[in-house]
Every structure is written in structure tokens, then in C-alpha cells.
Amino acid sequence: MKQSGIAIACDGIGLTYATKAGSPIVALRDVHCRFEPGRVTAIIGPSGCGKSTLLQIARGLLLPSIGSLQYLDVANSKASSRPPRMATVWQAFNLFPWRTVLENVTFGLELARISGADRTTRARHALAKVELTGFENKYPRQLSGGMRQRVGLARALVMEPEILLLDEPFGSLDAQTRLVLQEQLAHLVDISGTTAILVTHSIEEAILLADTVLVMTSRPGRVAATIGVSLPRPRSLATTNAPGYAALFDQIYGLLRAEVLKAMAIEVEGA
Amino acid sequence: MTIHSSPSPPGNPDKRALARGLIARIGEPRMLAWTAVAAVLVIWEVAVSVADINPIYLPRPTRIVAALIEMFRSDRLLVDLLITLGRIFGGFTIALIAGTLLGVWMATSERVNAIADNFIAALYPLPKVTLIPLFIIWLGTGGPFMLTISALGAVFPIIINTVVGIRQCDPGLVLAARDLGANNRQIVRMVLLPSAIPSIFAGVRLGLGVSIILVVAAEMLVGKFGLGARLYLAGQVLETEQVFAVLIILAALGIVVTKIQDAVDTWLSHWRIS
């Protein structure tokens, strides 16, 4: 079956930003990658390698200093006239604290001028998907970290994005909550065939969720390797015992280890 | 000291329990607050009678209350109260709208901030009463003058707190809004402004206090109507009871304003993230 949808192609992307201290910092250099529709791509790399920056460039919230970003209509294999619809789930949740759960989820729909009744229906549906029915009128501060991130997920899903962007979505949650949410997200990805880009520190998370893993170098970030994950779906925690998992883990860890050591050296220099 | 829970002695166990209960009730902080007020009033009343103090210096509380009722009934004190309230809140509303708008503009534009910065630095610490003579020359002593003075008192804390509030907005929220499709205008209206509300309200608290002071002071100086004018006139003719009566109204106004602000503060707890 031929895939349809819009791919994002990064061609030689670099980003340099000025600092007050003087010497500019090169965050990304010569990044080539492609985010294919219908696939989940994980970006993994050491701290400060520019993974989240790359995600924001792909989203169009940040302009690269050099290189080009292209949206490609895969079915006709030509440039797309419009970017795909995208929505982001953030590590720090970034929920609006003065809005209730429901109002947080309807935020993007309000901006899209969807009528009131429609907004509520769609938001309730999205909240049901992340199992938060009954919490519509709570405020974010009244929820646990895991529940807050499910609100964040519902807020993104309600926009019906063609590409879901996940920026270390479970990074600020405790280990147990993280496991459960990873499994729930893996399930969601399995049933919906969503296109997603996942930025993560966790090799396990990358393997559990992704079809393709991009391993990045330490700063300035480049794509060191592109690794396909062909473990069968649906995946769950049990996948970590599946044949092939350990080899993949070792392969990614082997690539990362050297880069993480380099990143640590950069941090010491900077400090 | 240790507390014994000795068995209650024979006699009137009911009465003792009742007395103990009453003392415990009065001991509660909430009750205690009003008991203290009542105690001061009683001591005042008794002391003035016993020491036979001339009511021109210190009238008895009961006489003050009588004067207050009389002023409301036949002397149209309510009209003066409404005039003063109108001046305070009229000017304050102008300050709230203008101050918030200017604050947003300053916080989102470096140029506007640069232009406004020195003027605000010069005007903010200036005691606003010193501007009363100038504004009388410019505007006379009528309504426009009163509204200007009131607005001037409140506007600076509101501007400054709006700027601070917006600058403290979590950049992650702006990013999230942009991600969900917000343009700059929508970000100001739906993210920056709401996130600055607790800070703006802190400015409102400060500003409203200054507005009250300025309006009453201006009324005392040049007003024909209003609580300040009544206060000043009563003092001129040594109607001490009326002076106290107006002071009571002003104190009551202070209590009401403070309680409303406390309620708003509680409501603003939604803004706290954790």
C-alpha cells in the first residue's frame, strides 16, 4: 500500500544562536533527515544536542540559520503547498494554569474558530481517549503529573494533527507513571497509525514507540545514525523481552555512549 | 504549668460547663477580633462618661453612632458617600484600563518601554498629593480634576505590575499557544494577559489604596461634596461627632475594599501551578 500524507525533509539544517557571553553557539550542524507519514520517528541524543531545537524547526516555530526544510506530498512525490497540521506535547506540560482541563483542551479549537458546542464535544472525546473523563472542570494544579501530561496529550490530539510532536513527553514524570504512560501511548500509536516525532532521552521509550530512531551526536548536533525498529506491534513492556530488543538497545547505547561522554565534557568546559 | 483534667466539683456542673464553653468561644481568633473591638468601645464609652471629657475633644461612641444615623437621615451623607465612591472607582477604572494597556505595550515592545521608562521612574515615587495644585490650575476643582487625581494615584502601580507580570510569563506557555495556532495578538490576549493577572491584581491593591487617599485629600482641600469635604467642614465647626462619623464610614470602606480584595486573592489561587 502506498502511503499518503506529508513528509518533512530536513536538508543540511544548521542553527547558530548568539549568546550574551560573546561566542555564538552552534546548536545544530548539517542535519539531514526525513520524517515519513504513518511512521513514528524517535530522536535520541545526549543532553544539549539540539533534539528539541530540531523538533521546533520541524514544527516551524524556529527558523534554521542554514539549510532548508521541505514539506513533501508523498503520494505525488512533489513539494506540498501547505505544511502538515502539527501539535506538540511538552516535557513541562505547558498547561494554562488559569484554564480548567476542558478549557485547556479547547484552546486550540477556539483559535481555529470552532463553534462552542463543537469544541466541547471534541474536547470531551479527546479527554475520553486519555481516560480523563470526569476531570473536565479541574484545574491543572489539582492533577498529578501523569494526569497533567494526559491533558497535554488530549490538547494536542484534539487538533487532529497529521504529525504529533512529542518533546520528551514523559521527562518530568516519575519512573512508574512513565512506564504506564509509555504503554498507553504505544497503544494509541498502534491503533491510530499516527505519524509522530518523539524526542527522548530514553532508549527504551524510543524502541517501544518508534519505527525509526535517529541517534544524534553531542553539540553541535548531527544525525549520527538512522536505525530502523522492526519489532512487531502492538508493543508493550513485554516487548523489552522480545528477541531483537536487546541487540537494538545495545546498538543504540553503543552509539550514544561516546556522544554522552563528549556532551559531559562540553558541560564541564562550559561550567 | 500543667493542665489537670480534674473531675468537676459538685454544685453547678451545667453552669461551669456553659461558662467554660463561652470562654472558649470568645477565645477563638474570629470571635476575639470582634470582642476586642467591643471591649475598646465599652471602655471608651465608660471612660468618657466617668472622666467627663468635653465632647468637642472626644465624644462618646453612642453619640457618634447617633450623629452618623442623623447624617444619613437628614443630611444626605449617602449622596456624599456615593460621590466619593464614584470619584475613587471612576478614576481607578480609567487607571486600570490605561495602566494595563500601557503595561502590556511596554512589556511587549522594547521601544515603547525605552520611551516610557524614564517618565515612569520620575513620576512613580513622586508623592501624588504634590500634583494636586498643578491639576487644580489645569482642570479646576470639579469632576475631571477628581477623576484625574484618582486615576493618577492608581495608574503607576498597575503599569509596573503589569509589566512585571507579563515578563514573568512562562515562555513555555507562549510556545504552547503558538503551537496551537495563536498569532501575536492572541498570545497577548489569551496567554500574556491572563498569566499576568495575579501581578496586575497586586498593582490594583496598591493603586486603589492610593486612589482612596488622593480623592479624600483632594476633597478636603477643594471639595464641595464628598466624604473628604464633609470631614473637613465638620472639623472646621468643631462638630467632632460628625468628624468621627465620617471617619467610621471611611474605615468601613477600607474594610469592605480589603475583604473584597482578599476574596479575589483566593479566587486567583487557580493561577498557582502547584
Alpha-carbon gap, residue A33 to A223, rounded angstroms: 8
CB B151, CB B102: distance < 8 Å: no
Residue B186 in contact with partner chain A when CB distance is under 8 A:
yes
Residue B176 in contact with partner chain A when CB distance is under 8 A:
yes
- Nearest by CB to residue A111, choosing from B186, B195, B197, is B186
Helices (H), ranges, B140-192: 143-167, 171-179, 184-187
Strand partners, A40: A196
pLDDT at B193 over 90: yes
Q: How far, rounded to the nearest angstrom, does the alpha carbon of residue A79 sit from its chain's CA centroid?
A: 23
Give the residue on A whose Cα is nearest the Cα of B169: A96
Do residues B101 and B204 both lie within one domain? yes
Residue B190 in contact with partner chain A when CB distance is under 8 A:
yes
Alpha-carbon gap, residue A143 to A159, rounded angstroms: 22
Alpha-carbon gap, residue B196 to B183, rounded angstroms: 18
- Nearest by CB to residue B273, choosing from A88, A110, A141, is A141
Give the residue on B whose Cα is nearest the Cα of A109: B180
| B169 is a domain residue | yes
Q: Which of residues 107-126 of A touch B (CB under 8 A)?
A: 107-108, 110-112
Do residues B210 and B257 both lie within one domain? yes
Do residues B126 and B37 both lie within one domain? no
Q: Residue A90: list chain B partners with CB under 8 A.
A: 172, 175-176
pLDDT at B52 over 90: no
CATH number of the domain enclosing B218: 1.10.3720.10
Q: What's the domain range around B39?
A: 14-52
- Best mutation target, B168, B174, B180, to test chain A (most A CBs within 10 A): B180
Strand partners, A270: none
Q: What are the pLDDT digits (tens) for A18-69?
A: 887 778 888 888 899 999 888 899 999 888 788 899 999 999 889 999 999 9
Q: What are the pLDDT digits (tens) for B53-67?
A: 888 899 999 999 999
Query: B273 and A97 in contact by Cβ < 8 A?
Result: yes
Q: How far is CA B224 from CA B9, B48, B203, B237, B240, in A?
A: 67, 33, 30, 15, 19
DSSP A91: T
- Nearest by CB to residue A97, choosing from B178, B182, B271, is B271
Give the residue on B whose Cα is nearest the Cα of A155: B180
The pLDDT of residue B170 is 93
Give the residue on A whose Cα is nearest the Cα of B196: A98
Q: What are the pLDDT digits (tens) for B76-94?
A: 889 999 999 999 999 999 9
Q: How does the average pLDDT of chain B come out, rounded?
A: 89
Cell numbers at B117, concatenated: 521608562
Q: Residue B182: list chain A partners with CB under 8 A.
A: 111
Alpha-carbon gap, residue A154 to B214, rounded angstroms: 51
* Unique residue bearing C-alpha cell 518533546: A167
Q: Which of residues 75-104 of A touch B (CB under 8 A)?
A: 86-88, 90, 92, 94-98
Query: A159 and B180 in contact by Cβ < 8 A?
Result: yes
Do residues B95 and B219 both lie within one domain? yes
* Unique residue bearing C-alpha cell 503551537: B179
* Global pTM value: 0.82
| B57 is a domain residue | no
Per-residue pLDDT of chain A (271 residues; tens, 9 = 90+): 446 788 898 999 899 888 877 788 888 888 999 998 888 999 998 887 888 999 999 998 899 999 999 898 888 878 887 888 999 999 999 999 999 999 999 999 999 999 989 999 999 999 998 889 999 999 999 999 899 999 999 999 999 898 999 999 988 888 888 888 888 888 887 777 788 999 998 999 999 889 999 999 888 888 989 999 988 888 888 888 888 899 999 999 999 888 888 878 777 765 4
CB B170, CB B256: distance < 8 Å: no
Do residues B156 and B261 both lie within one domain? yes
Alpha-carbon gap, residue B117 to B266, rounded angstroms: 32
CB B208, CB B150: distance < 8 Å: no
Query: A111 and B181 in contact by Cβ < 8 A?
Result: yes
Residue B172 in contact with partner chain A when CB distance is under 8 A:
yes
Do residues B41 and B75 both lie within one domain? no
Task: Find all residues with CB under 8 Å of B75, minimum gap 6, and list them.
Answer: none
Query: B179 and A97 in contact by Cβ < 8 A?
Result: no
What's the per-residue H, E or C state across A68-83?
Answer: EEEEEECCCCEECCCC
| B8 is a domain residue | no
DSSP A20: T
| B145 is a domain residue | yes
What is the nearest CA distance from A72 to chain B, expressed in angstroms? Answer: 21
The pLDDT of residue B195 is 92
Alpha-carbon gap, residue B118 to B95, rounded angstroms: 19
What's the per-residue H, E or C state across B247-270?
Answer: HHHHHHHHHHHHHHHHHHHHHHHH
Do residues B159 and B33 both lie within one domain? no
Q: What are the pLDDT digits (tens) for B2-36?
A: 455 545 455 566 778 888 877 777 777 878 888 88
Task: Find all residues with CB under 8 Å of B96, minimum gap 6, and list them.
Answer: B154, B158, B204, B207
Residue B61, preceding bond cis, omega within 30 degrees?
no
Of the candidates A53, A73, A61, the residue with the CA atom closest to the CA atom of residue A13:
A53
* Dihedral pair phi/psi, residue A18, rounded to 5°: -80, 150
| B2 is a domain residue | no
Q: What are the pLDDT digits (tens) for B41-51?
A: 999 999 998 98
ipTM of predicted complex:
0.89
> Given 3-state DSSP classes, what are the helix, strand and coil percentages for chain B, each rounded to the nearest 5?
80, 0, 20
Do residues B34 and B106 both lie within one domain? no
* Dihedral pair phi/psi, residue A78, rounded to 5°: -145, 170
Query: B194 and A96 in contact by Cβ < 8 A?
Result: yes
Strand partners, A225: A215
- Choices 2.60.40.3080, 3.40.50.1100, 3.40.50.300, 3.40.50.1220: CATH for A6-85+161-270: 3.40.50.300
Q: What residue spans define the domains of chain A?
A: 6-85+161-270, 97-160
In this prediction, residues B166-191 reach a mean pLDDT of 94
Do residues B122 and B239 both lie within one domain? yes
Residue B69 in contact with partner chain A when CB distance is under 8 A:
no
- Best mutation target, B179, B199, B266, B271, to test chain A (most A CBs within 10 A): B179
What is the nearest CA distance from A95 to chain B, expressed in angstroms? Answer: 7
Considering its fold, how many domains does chain B have in total?
A: 2
Do residues B42 and B140 both lie within one domain? no
First-last CA distance in chain B: 42
Check residue A62 and give left, alpha or beta (phi > 0: left; psi -120 to 50: alpha). beta
* Unique residue bearing C-alpha cell 512487531: A232
Q: Residue B191: list chain A partners with CB under 8 A.
A: 96
pLDDT confidence of B226, banded at 50, 70, 90?
Answer: very high
| B63 is a domain residue | no
Do residues B248 and B154 both lie within one domain? yes
Query: A88 and B179 in contact by Cβ < 8 A?
Result: yes
| H or E element that contains A213 | strand A212-216
Q: How far is CA B74 from CA A5, A129, B78, B223, in A?
A: 81, 68, 10, 20
Alpha-carbon gap, residue B60 to B51, rounded angstroms: 11
Q: Residue B176: list chain A partners with CB under 8 A.
A: 88, 90, 94-96
Query: A94 and B173 in contact by Cβ < 8 A?
Result: yes
Query: A141 and B181 in contact by Cβ < 8 A?
Result: no
For CA atoms B21, B26, B27, B28, give the dihedral sign: positive
DSSP B189: I
Contacts across the A-B interface (CB distance below 8 Å):
57
Task: Find all residues with CB under 8 Å of B141, minimum gap 6, and list them.
Answer: B222, B223
Q: What are the pLDDT digits (tens) for B130-152?
A: 999 999 999 988 889 999 999 99
pLDDT at B274 over 60: no
Task: Find all residues with CB under 8 Å of B58, minimum gap 6, and list them.
Answer: B48, B240
Alpha-carbon gap, residue A43 to A47, rounded angstroms: 12
Do residues B107 and B166 both lie within one domain? yes
| B4 is a domain residue | no
Query: B179 and A139 in contact by Cβ < 8 A?
Result: no
Query: B180 and A107 in contact by Cβ < 8 A?
Result: yes
Alpha-carbon gap, residue A225 to A215, rounded angstroms: 5
